[in-house]
Amino acid sequence: MSDLLHAAIIMDGNGRWARERGLPRIAGHHEGASAVRRVIEAAPDFGIGTLTLYAFSEDNWTRPEREVSALMKLLGRYLVQETKRCMETGVRLQAIGRRDRLPAPLVSLLEESERKTAAGTRLHLRLALDYSSRSAILDAARRLSASATEESFSKLLGPDVDLLIRTSGEQRLSDFLLWECAYAELVFTPRMWPSFTREDLAACVEEFYRRERRFGGIRPVEDVLRSA
């Protein structure tokens, strides 16, 4: 088993960050894109081998059409700007979630980025777009037979999450990686996503390593006596 962590982040608080500064919501999303870059660059330094970012949920389609359109354009610009950087720094990009409702030009950019970054080994970056964990679980169930095992089910959904981070003070999963987070350590921070820094990521990883992960078991008696 790899010692590298799978960290997942619910990037929350872009709109509130902008509102507190008297700016339009899209300004928060633009600043949030800068936070994405900071975290991607820092993640491998903290032992993170897989990073899953909740970029756009299935529920986000209910937002005003103007904001959704701006988000789609921002995602497209991000892919254009960052694909080369990903190739140079060994980042492999993969999109998870539905693609049939995304704008066709954005889907083309995603596929191109995935193809160009396929050889990256330093960090596996997964962008959750038009994503719903319930939908992903249902889709996996439909694809498997009655003889399915937990292992075969997990292969269709993705790797287990070690550390789940949510910014902006909210404390819920919001339909994100529900199966994969079965034994994840959850860290909730009041920091708004656009203000999230390398130091914030380091603090979350440090908190992860302070936790005692028993996976439903108990500590061996000798370990308890040794720490007493």
Each residue's pLDDT tens digit, 103-115:
999 999 999 999 9
- Collapse the DSSP code of 177 into the 3-class scheme (helix H, G, I; strand E, B; otherwise coil) and give the result: coil
User: How much is the CA Rg of the chain, to the nearest whole Å?
Assistant: 18
* Per annotation, catalytic residue among 60, 139, 160, 175: 60
68-76 own/partner pairs: CB under 8 Å, 24+ apart: 70/26, 70/29, 71/26, 71/29, 72/102, 72/103, 72/106, 74/26, 74/29, 74/30, 74/33, 75/106, 75/129, 76/103, 76/105, 76/106, 76/109
Instruction: Return d(Cα 68, Cα 187) in angstroms, integer.
Output: 28
pLDDT single digits (tens) 44-93: 999 999 999 999 999 999 999 999 999 999 999 999 999 999 999 999 99
How far separated are the first and last CA of the chain, in Å rounded? 30
Residue 96: which of 133, 126, 56, 125 has the closest Cα?
A: 126
Residue 218 — very low, low, confident or very high, per pLDDT cuts 50/70/90?
A: low
* Per annotation, catalytic residue among 3, 12, 59, 200: 12
Domain residue ranges in the chain: 5-227
pLDDT single digits (tens) 146-199: 778 889 889 999 999 999 999 999 999 999 999 999 999 999 999 999 999 999
**Among this protein's residues, is 14 annotated catalytic?**
no
**Among this protein's residues, is 12 annotated catalytic?**
yes
Regarding the domain with residue range 5-227, which homologous superfamily does it belong to in the CATH classification?
A: Decaprenyl diphosphate synthase-like (3.40.1180.10)
